[in-house]
């Protein structure tokens, strides 16, 4: 899978992409990550990529021209399955959306900033707007990082234990069961005996019961699905 990220602030991604699961995915050549500075496609001598909004109002708007040039140059090199705009008014991103997106080969993530992007970017280039929550960030970079991480961990081969990602919260519309490791007793707080029993059937039943209880208590809306 290849992900191209279009941003005004590519340096924000350096630390995130150079560590943990994302680094492992890249090192295994299971994922290609490329960041592109939108300012490199502006003709302004100061590399300006934003301007005042027509009609007045507060804030600045990202200009269509450098974004269009960047997208079109990348499209001339390969075919993209989708172009996603990081936007607070987009489709809510969830595990099912991550599973769907992870099946694609080449995608672009366009990071909005300031007051947003010129609406014509959406009309001419964007396949779908994506939101990671009902709140506004300073820009789409953090959203793009979150989405990239969510996609990477479910690409086959990225996580050594292939069943780990499949047991994540939300994969089956349930929250995950509690997890424990050594020591079995910490200051009188013991690991549930069933997890130490070695009885796979009882352990599976306990985990399912815990998933249902935790989902009912914390996210009952998921059970309605």
Please count the other Cβ atoms lying within 10 Å of the Cβ belonging to residue 217.
9
pLDDT value of residue 44:
86
Label the pairing between strands 82-92 and 61-62: unpaired
Separation of first and last alpha carbons in the chain? 30
pLDDT value of residue 45:
86
Cα angle, residue 205 at apex, residues 200 and 209 outer, rounded to 5°: 145
Q: What is the mean pLDDT of the chain?
A: 93
Q: Which residue shows structure tokens 């549930």? A: 192
pLDDT by 10-residue block (mean), the chain, 225 residues: 97 95 94 98 91 92 97 98 96 95 97 94 97 94 97 91 54 86 94 96 95 93 84
Residue 80 is encoded by which pair of tokens?
């993209």
**Domains of the chain: residue spans and CATH:** 2-152 (3.40.1280.10), 172-223 (1.10.1270.20)
pLDDT tens-digit series, residues 73-114: 999 999 999 999 999 999 999 999 999 999 999 999 999 998
pLDDT value of residue 169:
54
């Amino acid at each position: 899978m290849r992900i191209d990220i279009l941003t005004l602030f590519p340096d924000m991604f350096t630390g995130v992409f150079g560590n943990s699961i994302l680094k492992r995915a890249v090192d295994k050549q299971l994922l290609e990550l490329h960041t592109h500075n939108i300012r490199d496609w502006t003709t302004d001598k100061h590399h300006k990529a934003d301007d005042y909004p027509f009609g007045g109002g507060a804030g600045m708007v990202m200009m269509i021209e450098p974004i269009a040039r960047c997208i079109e140059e990348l499209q001339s090199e390969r075919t993209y399955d989708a172009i996603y705009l990081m936007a607070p008014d987009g489709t809510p991103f969830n595990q099912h959306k991550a599973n769907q997106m992870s099946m694609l080969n080449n995608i672009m993530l366009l990071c909005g900033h300031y007051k947003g992007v010129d609406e014509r970017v959406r009309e001419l280039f964007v396949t779908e707007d994506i939101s990671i929550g009902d709140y506004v960030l300073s820009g789409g970079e953090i959203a793009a990082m979150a989405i990239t991480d969510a996609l990477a961990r479910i690409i086959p081969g990225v996580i050594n234990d292939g069943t780990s990602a499949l047991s994540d919260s939300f994969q089956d519309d349930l929250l995950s069961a509690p997890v424990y490791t050594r020591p079995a007793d910490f200051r009188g707080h013991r690991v549930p005996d069933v997890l130490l029993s070695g009885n796979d059937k009882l352990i599976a039943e306990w985990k399912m019961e815990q998933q249902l209880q935790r989902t009912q208590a914390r996210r009952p809306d998921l059970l309605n699905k």
